[in-house]
Structure 1
Amino acid sequence: MNISIIIPAYNEEDIIGKTLDALEKINNITEIIVVDDGSTDNTPLLCNRNRVRLINLVQNQGKGRAVEVGVRESQGDIIVLLDADLGDSAREVEKLAKPIIAGEVDLTIALLTIKGGGVGLLRKFADFSLKTITGLAMKAPLSGQRAFKRKILPLITPFYNGYGLEIGMDLLILKNNIQYKEVPCNFKHRVSGKDLSGFIHRGKQFKEVLSVLWSFKNNIV
């Protein structure tokens, strides 16, 4: 099965090079697509590689839109969504694809085994909300590292934008009874700081997750 990697990126010049280095060492990846979401730094220049296809969005449109563009342009039977800031740990991607290749499930979600890089209260809120709305639970409802068969795209789209992408997909996974597996992986990514910028970042995450949950709940009531 052909594997397409989709990486939405926004101002990731400090780490995306290491992420791509790790992925380029994996032979069974068919294509690596980076969707630059209007970066103002050198992110696009660092993606100028033989095995990487770069798609430039002129303006910042949000993670969900960047993923949507990347998926639309991809060719693989299996599509893998990865964050740009994984660095060397991007090599763990093979663990995500394995259960799908083996025919066990149609979709996988990375369950982080390395402490750090989590979202604490927001994750707990997302977990509680999923249980409340669907009666079901996930261990990693906000994990951005996911893989799925192309054929299930109609069941997990449209993609919600911004930080609502993952929770929106979770709701559709559970609603449509998609066979999925949460796979322990040693992915590690940037942790939001405890300064003002970190507080603003987490606030934006919470707002966008809440917006998706509210929208979904109202549509099924």
Structure 2
Amino acid sequence: MRVSVVLPAKNEEQGLARTLPGLRALWPDAELIVSDDGSTDRTAVIAAEHGARVVRAPYSMGNGAAIKRGARAATGEVIVFMDADGQHDGVHLEALLAKLSDGYDMVVGARNATGQASRGRGLANGLYNRLASWMTGHRILDLTSGFRAVRADRFREFLHLLPNGFSYPTTCTMAFFRSGYPVAYVPVPVARRVGRSHIRPLRDGVRFLLIIFKIATLYSPLKLFAPVSVAFGSVGLAYYAYTFSTQHRFTNMSALLFSAAVIVFLIGLVSEQITSLTYRRDG
């Protein structure tokens, strides 16, 4: 199998200077693609000096947008995505590719607790993992890892679903599970990144909170809407029982809660149908 390695990069000249030489030495036949997300430093120059093909954007569009540009440019049957900040070591590609040859369509390099950027990020990622595991019925070890190997034709099916921001790993993982494509996890050590992270805790913290809801609506909306509907209905029933026993009447609040329960359930039902259409494969 021809392998293409895609590294999304924004101002990562130091990380690329450490990552690319090792990659080229270990995988001389692999296609190396650096997807430059509007860098203002020597990222493109360093990438070209080490024999990588550079796909440049005139301005920053986001990590996910860089991933999509790199995936479109890749010519290999298998695409390996790696961070360009020096966290991932090319020596671990062999383990991912070996697992891929066992019949999986995506293999993810899973970090342990020591591989998280901070304690807060580790707790947040743990929450995402548990939520996604509940949604899919499969144990997900690392939902947000940027180190993964995928079959190119499978991955390109979901390019239209991928966001331009940092949540592309979450979206593509859930899309693979939803479509019945097998996913595996391989534990990999992660080094400390070179340079400063482009993630801003406050802004991206709110964004990642929205990812939790997007996970639910992307995979199985009824798993999100049905419990909310049941909660409204239960509160409405309890309030009706209270007002009936104390005032012997059916109140407007009970009617409102029952109506909300029905509306939320119907929204979930329609969302489920839309989701099914989104993942339909024609031909």
TM-score of the pair, normalised by structure 1 = 0.85
The residue number in structure 2 matching 1:145 is 147
RMSD (CA atoms): 2.6
After TM superposition, give the deviation of residue 154 of structure 1 in Å. 4.8
Structure 2 portions without partners, runs of 5+: 222-267, 269-283
SS of aligned partner of 1:99? helix
After TM superposition, give the deviation of residue 113 of structure 1 in Å. 5.3
Q: CA–CA distance in 1 between the matches of 2:176 and 2:73?
A: 23
SS of aligned partner of 1:66? helix
Q: AA paired with 1:94?
A: E
Q: CA–CA distance in 1 between the matches of 2:68 and 2:82?
A: 13
Contact 1:87 1:189 in 2 (8 A): yes
Q: Is 1:209 equivalent to 2:211 in the alignment?
A: no
Deviations 1:58-115 (Å, cap 9, x if unpaired)? Answer: 1000011001011001100000110001267233222212222x33311100023582
Deviations 1:125-179 (Å, cap 9, x if unpaired)? Answer: 2113213433433111111101111121255432222111111112112212221
Contact 2:10 2:39 in 1 (8 A): yes
Q: CA–CA distance in 2 between the matches of 1:192 and 1:12?
A: 8
Q: Is 1:85 equivalent to 2:74 in the alignment?
A: no
After TM superposition, give the deviation of residue 204 of structure 1 in Å. 3.6
The residue number in structure 2 matching 1:58 is 58
Q: Is 1:165 equivalent to 2:185 in the alignment?
A: no
Q: Max radius of gyration: which structure?
A: 2
SS of aligned partner of 2:98? helix
Q: CA–CA distance in 2 between the matches of 1:216 and 1:114?
A: 22
After TM superposition, give the deviation of residue 121 of structure 1 in Å. 1.5
SS of aligned partner of 2:191? coil
Q: CA–CA distance in 2 between the matches of 1:43 and 1:96?
A: 26
Contact 1:114 1:187 in 2 (8 A): no
Q: CA–CA distance in 2 between the matches of 1:65 and 1:88?
A: 20
Q: Percent identity?
A: 25
The residue number in structure 1 matching 2:98 is 98
Contact 1:92 1:187 in 2 (8 A): no
Q: CA–CA distance in 2 between the matches of 1:205 and 1:48?
A: 31
SS of aligned partner of 2:109? strand
Contact 2:83 2:146 in 1 (8 A): yes
The residue number in structure 2 matching 1:133 is 135
SS of aligned partner of 2:21? helix
Q: AA paired with 2:9?
A: A
After TM superposition, give the deviation of residue 30 of structure 1 in Å. 2.5
Q: How many residues align?
A: 216
Q: CA–CA distance in 2 between the matches of 1:29 and 1:210?
A: 40
* 1:124 aligned residue (126, 131, 151): 126
Greater relative contact order: 1 or 2 (C-alpha under 8 angstroms, separation 6 or more)?
1
Q: AA paired with 1:173?
A: F
Residues 191 and 18 of structure 1, relative CA distance in 2, 3 Å threshold: closer
- Which one is further off, 111-120 or 62-71? 111-120
Q: AA paired with 1:108?
A: V
Q: CA–CA distance in 2 between the matches of 1:122 and 1:192?
A: 22
After TM superposition, give the deviation of residue 116 of structure 1 in Å. 3.3
- Which one is further off, 146-155 or 2-11? 146-155
- Which one is further off, 147-156 or 86-95? 86-95
Residues 94 and 204 of structure 1, relative CA distance in 2, 3 Å threshold: farther
The residue number in structure 1 matching 2:38 is 38
Structure 1 portions without partners, runs of 5+: none
The residue number in structure 2 matching 1:112 is 111
Contact 1:117 1:188 in 2 (8 A): no
SS of aligned partner of 2:176? helix
